């Protein structure tokens, strides 16, 4: 997730105006934070914090296991984190960062990346996806498409490196996108289409995903759509509305996801599944960024994704952003997306049932 000022520009432009004791303590504090777990739910593990600001990587793994969440996204191939995952059983999505994209255009560099960060761990770490780049179309940090042409060559080289060691059926290679690639937003999902600039990059990427059987990874934040389009009814954003609009949608999340599904279909990818790699709601830092709203959104999201969308019924693999409040983010809002404080105390009670 990028700085909020960059997200604002994007939405404005596109109309989106010691361990056991600790675990026992968490259980007491969390109350209804049930540990039954949902198969389709993961949590993003960000580490934008001071060195002493977050638990150690092994502690984080134990925390995931204590709440029975079996899928995790990390944003780069951090060796301490990957070492901590050994034998955990947690399925991991790992990122090739935007800064690494140009380097990955060299097949040797891609082979070395896969050797060092995937093959080295053998069967000790369960890798699920490799996300090659994050929000590059355009880059939500710079607002430009400068790196867009680097994504597909990097994806192909990483995939070829994965295939060369026989892991192409176990680990899927994709990239993470953001709704700023869409010409039409959430108002009429059936009209969803990639904008002209993004389409020239996305069409060959969609073809690659069809070819390799990989999903498209997407970061979907109804919160930001509400923030920059205040007229949207809050209940429609929080999954609490009882009304259904003219297109048959009862919540903004479904409308945003299906808009992307329609765009992918029109770009030649009707078989391509979408995985929600990020979605969440801050608990502080804005008019609608409250603990109550954050709890409501995240709890309802966890429940809702078991059902799917009007266009694509069935469970949607979804990753909540994020595990912790991260104290080096730029604004209070960005620092407040966590389900837990850095001391592992839950921000609010939530159930993964």
How buried is 285 (Cβ within 10 angstroms: 0-12 exposed, 13-18 middle, 19+ buried)?
A: middle
Length of the chain: 353
Question: What is the reported pLDDT for 283?
Answer: 98
Specify the range with the lowest mean pLDDT, choosing from 26-40, 116-130, 205-219. Answer: 26-40
- Active-site residue, from 57, 62, 100, 135: 135
Tell me if residue 211 is catalytic. no
Q: How far is CA 274 from CA 35, 137, 148, 157, 264, in A?
A: 26, 17, 20, 22, 9
Tens digits of per-residue pLDDT, 104-140?
A: 999 999 999 999 999 999 999 999 999 999 999 988 7
- Active-site residue, from 57, 62, 100, 278: 278
Question: What is the reported pLDDT for 142?
Answer: 83
30 confidence band (pLDDT: 50, 70, 90): very low
3-class DSSP state of 3: coil
pLDDT at 8 > cutoff 70: no
Give residues with Cβ within 8 angstroms of 25, minimum separation 6.
none
What percent of the chain is predicted at pLDDT more than 70? 88
Question: What is the reported pLDDT for 271?
Answer: 97
Tens digits of per-residue pLDDT, 275-317?
A: 999 999 999 999 999 999 999 999 999 999 999 999 999 999 9
Handedness of CA 327, 333, 334, 337 (dihedral sign): positive
pLDDT at 21 > cutoff 50: no
Distance CA 351, CA 167 (A): 34
pLDDT at 28 > cutoff 80: no
pLDDT at 49 > cutoff 90: no
Q: Which two tokens stand for residue 79?
A: 């060796």
How buried is 34 (Cβ within 10 angstroms: 0-12 exposed, 13-18 middle, 19+ buried)?
A: middle
Give the mean model confidence (pLDDT) for residues 203-217. 98
Mean pLDDT of the chain: 89
Tell me if residue 278 is catalytic. yes
Say what the pTM is: 0.89
Distance CA 235, CA 227 (A): 13
Tens digits of per-residue pLDDT, 315-331?
A: 999 999 999 999 999 99
> Can you name the residues that pair with 320 across neighbouring β-strands?
43, 279
Distance CA 336, CA 324 (A): 8
pLDDT at 90 > cutoff 90: yes
Q: How far apart are the first and last CA of the chain?
A: 26
pLDDT at 19 > cutoff 80: no
Please name each of the domains of the chain with its CATH number.
4-336 (3.20.20.80)
CA nearest 230: which of 8, 1, 3, 6?
8
Distance CA 310, CA 140 (A): 29
Question: What is the reported pLDDT for 1?
Answer: 52
pLDDT at 98 > cutoff 60: yes
pLDDT at 187 > cutoff 90: no
Question: What is the reported pLDDT for 143?
Answer: 84
Residue 348 near residue 295 (C-beta atoms within 8 A): yes
pLDDT at 186 > cutoff 90: no
Residue 216 near residue 273 (C-beta atoms within 8 A): yes
Question: What is the reported pLDDT for 264?
Answer: 98
How buried is 297 (Cβ within 10 angstroms: 0-12 exposed, 13-18 middle, 19+ buried)?
A: buried
Distance CA 236, CA 249 (A): 9
Q: Which two tokens stand for residue 297?
A: 């959104």
Interior angle at CA 143, CA 199 and CA 256, nearest 5: 55
3-class DSSP state of 74: strand
Question: What is the reported pLDDT for 39?
Answer: 65
- Say how many C-beta atoms besides its own lie within 10 A of residue 242's C-beta: 6
Tens digits of per-residue pLDDT, 215-246?
A: 999 999 999 999 998 899 999 999 999 999 88
């Amino acid at each position: 997730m990028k700085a909020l000022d960059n997200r604002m520009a994007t939405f404005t432009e596109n109309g989106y105006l010691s361990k056991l004791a600790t675990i026992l303590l968490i259980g007491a504090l969390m109350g209804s934070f049930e540990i039954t777990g949902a198969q389709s739910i993961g949590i993003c593990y960000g580490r934008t914090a001071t060195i002493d600001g977050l638990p150690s990587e092994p502690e984080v793994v134990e925390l995931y296991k204590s709440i029975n969440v079996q899928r995790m996204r990390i944003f780069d191939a951090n060796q301490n984190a990957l070492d901590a995952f050994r034998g955990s059983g947690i399925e991991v999505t790992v990122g090739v960062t935007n800064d690494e994209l140009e380097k990955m255009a060299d097949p040797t560099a891609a082979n070395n990346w896969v050797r060092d960060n995937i093959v080295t761990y053998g069967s000790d770490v369960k890798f699920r996806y490799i996300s090659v780049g994050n929000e590059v179309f355009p880059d939500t940090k710079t607002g430009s498409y400068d790196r867009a042409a680097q994504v597909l060559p990097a994806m192909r080289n990483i995939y070829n490196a994965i295939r060369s060691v026989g892991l192409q059926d176990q680990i899927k290679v994709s990239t993470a996108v953001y709704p700023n690639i869409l010409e039409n937003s959430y108002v009429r999902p059936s009209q969803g289409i990639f904008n002209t600039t993004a389409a020239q990059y996305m069409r060959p990427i969609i073809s690659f995903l069809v070819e390799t059987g990989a999903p498209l990874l997407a970061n979907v934040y109804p919160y930001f759509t509400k923030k920059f389009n205040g007229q949207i009814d809050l209940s429609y954003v929080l999954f609490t509305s009882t009304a259904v609009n003219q297109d048959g949608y009862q919540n903004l999340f479904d409308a945003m996801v299906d808009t992307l599904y329609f765009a992918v279909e029109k770009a030649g990818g009707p078989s391509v599944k979408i995985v929600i790699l990020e979605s969440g709601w801050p608990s502080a830092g804005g008019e609608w960024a409250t603990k109550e709203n954050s709890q409501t959104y995240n709890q309802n999201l966890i429940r809702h994704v078991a059902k799917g969308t009007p266009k694509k019924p069935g469970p949607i693999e979804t990753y909540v952003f994020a595990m912790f409040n991260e104290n080096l983010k730029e604004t209070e809002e960005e620092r407040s997306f966590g389900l837990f404080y850095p001391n592992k105390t839950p921000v609010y009670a939530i159930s993964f049932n």
